[in-house]
Amino acid sequence: MPTDEPKGPKGDGQVYATDTPDYYELLQISPNADPDTVTRVFRLLARRYHPDQPDTGNEDRFREILAAYAVLHDPEKRAHYDVNHMGLRKERWRFVADGAPDAGDFAAEQQVRLVVLEILYARRRAEPHKPGMSILDLAELMGQPFEHLEFSSWYLVQKKFVMRNDQSQLQITVDGVDYLEERRRQETPRLRLTESSSVSAH
């Protein structure tokens, strides 16, 4: 299991920001998360990745989560960790601020939002009494980092295509259903035209 304070690459005993994993990222929480949130998310992830779980068990991932929780649930260790990783977080934010999105980024984000709506649409139809899904479950299902879906979910909620239920899960709204179905209706004629052109070419 990883130690709380790994040694620097020079073996001099100094703690370097780049040596320690990003525990907040491992637990998929904000650096401002309160202790209750840290514990709640840890328990959720620990259950999911416990080696005894036949479908989702992952011993390496489970050990990483335990190591992250060992630091973040202890106020003194967490404070020390935050100080050592302040420089790394600043570098990340500088990179984000300097890198303006290009056309490909916008297209990719739009596709992510459509996939989220498709999943929630299917969930609503298949399980009408349990239509909600957490961002964690969506991220795992889509193979997306948790942080990437925060922007997508914010946009969809603001557009009222998606709403949060009492458990803070996301579920599609009537507006979201209408929007998704309209998008698919617009795409269908183009697909048929492409297929017709392909057949006539032969």
Please give the residue that has the higher pLDDT: either 58 or 19.
Answer: 58
* Domains present along the chain, CATH in parentheses: 23-98 (1.10.287.110), 103-201 (1.10.10.10)
Res. 13: pLDDT tops 80:
no
Highest mean pLDDT: which range of 5-19, 90-104, 140-154, 162-176: 162-176
- The DSSP line for the chain is ---SSPPPTTSSS---TTTS--HHHHHT--TT--HHHHHHHHHHHHHHH-TT-TTT--HHHHHHHHHHHHHHTSHHHHHHHHHHHHHHHHHHHHHHHH----HHHHHHHHHHHHHHHHHHHHHHHH-TTS--B-HHHHHHHHT--HHHHHHHHHHHHHTTSEEE-TTS-EEE-HHHHHHHHHHHHHHHHHHHHHHHHHHHH-
Whole-prediction pTM: 0.47
* pLDDT at residue 20, rounded to an integer: 65
